[in-house]
Structure 1
Amino acid sequence: MTLASVERRAHPWRDPLAVAAGLRHRDGALALLSDGGPLGRWSFVAADPDLVRIEPVGERLDILRDPAFASGVVGLLAYDAGARPATGLREPLWPDLMLARYPAMLAFDHETRTAFAIGRGVDDASARAAAERAGAWLGEAVEPAAPPPPATRFQPEAPESAYTDAVADVVARIAAGELFQANIARAWTGELRPDADPFDVMLRLADRASAYGAFWRLGDRALVSNSPELFLTFDPETRRIETRPIKGTRPRDPDPARDAALAAELQASAKDRAENLMIVDLMRNDLARAAAPGSVRVERLFEVEPLATVHHLVSTVAAEARADVAAADLLEATFPPGSITGAPKHQAMKVIAGHEPPRGPWCGSLFHIEEGGLTASVLIRTASFELEEGVWRYRTLAGAGIVADSDPAAELAETDAKIRALREALIGP
């Protein structure tokens, strides 16, 4: 059933996190929360999806070609769904695809400080009713306050030596000519206190908001993401595609002079630039599968982007999509993201599988489809949760891109810097 009728109503501004807090226990509670910066103009909050699909996807995303999923849709593609052609069938940790359609949704424009209630329906009357439901959610806002640490432990799945050994093995494989780069990750697990739930983690990340923050709960699964990384945007009117791969990291420092020196060191690092450029070239190749000939271009290269706990090196690659390309085609052409696999991508995924169990949602993508347009994040800085016997259990990961001159101890330290914000959100400083 296609929801072809749309109603859109402007409302006074409310804090999107406060509105999301009021809906946190509703079915399908969703918050796509940006930091309001240059890359995060819009936030979205919703609940009560009318159509949910949770399933394996195989090699294609034909379900996204169904007109019923053309708008008001949020989806999660697990990393392992895209890696399977390289890794073979392994016992999954998470469904390949989670997909939900929201007839009622709130959109928050951080630039104009305006909230919009969006309603969709099979006719004008049902669209108006959905917009009224969304507008009423603004009145249910709860002023957010950071709760105490919700987790009781933050347990590594493997010893640090297992990670440094894996890095050393990848460096040796690179020296042997097997590949150029692979992103190798570490994982941590634990459980939340009986009186806590995953939204508490979102609240504790509020002062470290990123461009692609997210909370999503469907049934007994939930996701909290504080990702700064854009995987894809697609505008069906202009046909513009954009990706912003991140490669290169330094920790932040409370001393301004030391912090500036770390940023300058990152900007000047030949190793980090080479690591970034490999993934830029990979993403150029991936975008070319869906782009008009000759339209792929690098618009920005090696920009230092400061976040709450780290500096990142970021580049921007853009293209114009071919006339026959839609969101599903673009995801099929590029998933999983090159920044969290390596180069060549297929071989990097095989090497990753030799050192890691399935990743689940981490380094997959959370995406939002509106009127055929697409915004998809890379699910780094992300924890997944499953409710088991009344207790929320979590798993989270952090990785680093390994290249020929990688030092295992330095790469281990980089994963510690990357996981810091989530670790402190879960168990405190």
Structure 2
Amino acid sequence: MTGRSVEVRERPWRDPLAVAAGLRHRDGPLALLSDGGVLGRWSFVAAEPDRVHVGTAGPGGMLDLLRSDDFAAGVVGLLAYDAGARAATGPREPVWPDLMLARYPAMLAFDHQVGVVRVFGRGDDLDAAAAAGCRAGRWLAAAVDPTCPTAPGDDFAGEAAPEAYLAAVADVVDRIAAGQLYQANIARAWSGGLMPGADPFDVMLRLADRAAAYGAFWRLGDRAVVSNSPELFLTFDPDSRRIESRPIKGTRPRDPDPVRDSALAAELSASAKDRAENLMIVDLMRNDLSRVAEPGSVSVATLFEVESHPTVHHLVSTVAGLALAGIGPADLLEATFPPGSITGAPKHQAMKVIAGHEPPRGPWCGSLFHIEDDGRMTASVLIRTASFERLEGRWRFRTLAGAGIVADSDPAAELAETDAKIRALREALTGP
């Protein structure tokens, strides 16, 4: 797609987390770790990028760099929520770069379905691609059997009192009643630090038994993210031109009692409130996709499916369409970002209301995306995600959890939903 040479070989299966553990101290380590389920067939591991961008999203279009030869394929990127919300919120003090991009000449792709590893080497010519492939192949031999470390965090503090969140939810309910909007996703934030000697990869290891379809660890310099996201923002297949989004709206906590757990899932499936909340975002995503899809091609493939994860049940729908000729990953992201499921409806007004109650979000509820050599893209929604920054030799973290507020939202119930959503990350950071 970019004129670069690509070499691909197959190798016997290795655990992708073990291979990632062997690379954790190299430059720019990356692990896109799926659960191997229907939506998570592939995991990807890499290190040592040869092109990196950390900063603004571009002087023209928000993602002009993705249209350049340097970052058009074989690339991983993170688009911060605030980069997309700025059109509604105006300038705000940034807490994270708008855009992080890295191009990886050497990469390993783990096919959970077939049980093989594909070794990718990329370069400006065949010799460079072969050398990169050899380097990636050696990473398999350097795998380290991962062990779960003790909780690496020494605190996990809310940035505001729970009462502030209750008041924010009540305010949004009043705004909905006044006709200002239909729904807004309002979040709480927590922050803290890791103990001396601990690093963000330890958090990834502690989430290993709670794997999600879009788990991720990525470190560039003194910044890192750890994500255990179950939510797909976008996929794009350039051969069929199919675009797909799977917004999540509606949550119930899991219960150790199987009978009670099943009842909670059934309650979620039957909930008129959660179905209405989900449907609003489905309609929003249909509108967003229609900007870059062939007229009449956008449809709802599935509606109100219950998906069960280690700590929560979710209500999920699937919206799909066919991209217009000439549309690529940058165009898709520009037309649809930030994801509708974590903003609200109407999106522009919801982002203004969110900014009135929250400081900038940073990576949380932005998107982590991977663009392959043929232009195929997978982009997650960065929920269940912690961001890390190394300051004076110590890693500090920040994480958030939100809930979709609608006309009949109960503030106490929405507060409890955020507690359920943050549980897995809180336990990974500081223990039960």
TM-score of the two chains, using structure 2 as the length reference? 0.99
Q: Check conservation: 1:251, 1:417, Cα contact below 8 A.
A: yes
Mapped partners of 2:206, 2:326: distance in 1: 43
Which of these residues, 200, 205, 208, is aligned with residue 206 of structure 1? 208
CA contact (8 A) 1:310 1:418 kept: yes
Q: How far is the alpha carbon of 1:70 from its aligned partner?
A: 2.0
Give the deviation of 1:3 after TM superposition: 6.1
**Match for residue 386 of structure 1?**
389
Match of 1:189 among 188, 191, 194: 191
Partner of 1:178: 180
Alignment partners' CA distance in 2, 1:90 and 1:367: 24
Separation (CA, whole Å) in 1 of partners of 2:3 and 2:15: 28
Hey, what's the Cα distance between the residues in 2 that align with 1:200 and 1:128?
33
Cα deviations by residue, 1:185-216 (Å, 9 ceiling, x for unpaired): 00000000011000000000000000000000
Shift of 1:67: 2.0
2:306 is the counterpart of 1:304: yes
Matches within 5 A, 1:31-180: 31-57=31-57, 59-180=61-182
Structure 1 contact 3–68 (Cα < 8 Å) conserved: no
Cα distance change of structure 1 residues 411 and 148 upon mapping to structure 2, 3 Å threshold: same
What's the RMSD between the two structures over aligned residues? 0.9
SS state of the match for residue 394, structure 1?
strand
- Report the Cα offset of residue 32 of structure 1: 0.2
| CA distance in structure 1 between the partners assigned to 2:427 and 2:397 by the alignment | 14
Aligned equivalents of 1:23 and 1:290: distance in 2? Answer: 38
Task: Report the AA paired with residue 78 of structure 2.
Answer: L
TM-score normalized by structure 1? 0.99
Q: Secondary structure at the match of 1:285?
A: helix
Where does residue 231 of structure 1 map in the other structure?
Answer: 233
Rounded to whole Å, the distance in 2 between the matches of 1:203 and 1:62 is 35
Specify the code of the residue in structure 1 equivalent to 2:90. G
Q: Tell me, what secondary structure is at the counterpart of 2:147?
A: coil
Q: What is residue 30 of structure 1 aligned with on the other side?
A: 30
- Residue 266 of structure 1 corresponds to which residue in structure 2? 268
Letter in 2 for 1:231: F
**Stretch deviating more after TM superposition (60-69 or 193-202):** 60-69
SS of residue in 1 equivalent to 2:145? coil
Residue 5 of structure 1: how far off its partner (Å): 0.5
- The superposition leaves residues 92-140 of structure 1 with CA deviations (integer Å, 9 ceiling, x where unpaired) of 1000000000000000000010001100011111100100000000001
2:422 aligns with 419
Q: Please identify, of 276-285 and 366-375, the stretch whose mean Cα deviation from structure 2 is larger.
A: 366-375
Deviates more, 1:53-62 or 1:306-315: 53-62
Distance 1:211 1:46 in 2: 18
Q: How many angstroms apart in 1 are the aligned matches of 2:219 and 2:55?
A: 16
In 2, the alpha carbon distance for the partners of 1:163 and 1:56 equals 31
Give the 3-state SS of the residue equivalent to 1:148 in structure 2.
coil
Rounded Cα–Cα distance in structure 1 between residues aligned with 2:3 and 2:351: 38
Partner of 1:375: 378
Paired with 2:388 and 2:223, the residues of 1 have a C-alpha distance of 6
SS state at 2:179 partner = coil
Q: Provide the C-alpha distance between the structure 1 equivalents of 2:79 and 2:407, rounded to a whole number of angstroms.
A: 30
Partners in 2 of 1:90 and 1:4 — Cα distance?
Answer: 39
CA–CA separation in structure 2 for the residues paired with 1:252 and 1:39: 21
1:210 is matched by which residue type in structure 2?
Answer: A
Q: Do the aligned partners of 1:3 and 1:120 also contact (CA within 8 Å) in 2? A: no
The 3-state SS of whatever aligns with 2:97 is coil
The superposition leaves residues 39-69 of structure 1 with CA deviations (integer Å, 9 ceiling, x where unpaired) of: 0000000000000011212552111100221
1:150 touches 1:196 (CA, 8 Å); kept in 2? yes
Q: Distance in 2 between matches of 1:70 and 1:328?
A: 9
Residue 241 of structure 1 aligns to a residue whose secondary structure is: strand
Give 3-state SS (helix, strand or coil) of 2:40's partner: coil
Structure 2: any 5+ residue segments left out of the alignment? none
Select 2:325's aligned residue among 323, 326, 342.
323
Contact 1:3/1:121 (8 A) holds in 2:
no
Give the letter for the 2:6 counterpart: V
In 1, Cα distance between equivalents of 2:72 and 2:53:
14
CA distances 1:328-348 after superposition (whole Å, capped 9, x unpaired) = 000000000000000000000
Runs of 4+ in 1 over 4 A off after TM superposition: none
Q: Equivalent residue for 2:285?
A: 283
Is 1:6 the counterpart of 2:6? The answer is yes
Alpha-carbon distance between aligned partners in 1 of 2:183 and 2:192, rounded to the nearest angstrom: 30
Match of 2:296 in 1: 294
Relative to structure 2, which stretch is displaced further, 317-326 or 56-65? Answer: 56-65
- State the distance in 2 between where 1:181 and 1:410 align: 16
SS at match of 2:317: strand
Distance 2:417 2:216 in 1: 23
Gaps of 5+ in 1: none
Q: CA deviation at 1:29?
A: 0.2
**Aligned partner of residue 266 in structure 2, secondary structure:** helix
> What CA distance in whole angstroms lies between the structure 1 residues aligned with 2:115 and 2:24?
23
Matching residue of 1:357: 359
Q: Give the % identical residues.
A: 78
Indicate the SS of the match to 1:199.
helix
Report deviation, 1:365.
0.1
Question: Does the residue aligned with 1:276 lie in a helix, a strand or coil?
Answer: helix
Structure 2: distance between partners of 1:411 and 1:251: 12
**What residue number does 1:428 align with?**
431
Q: What is the aligned partner in structure 2 of residue 403 from structure 1?
A: 406
Residue of structure 2 in register with 1:240 after alignment:
242
Distance, in Å, in 2 between the alignment partners of 1:86 and 1:198 is 32
Partners of 1:84 and 1:278 lie apart in 2 by 22
Q: Distance in 2 between the 1:336 and 1:141 partners?
A: 36
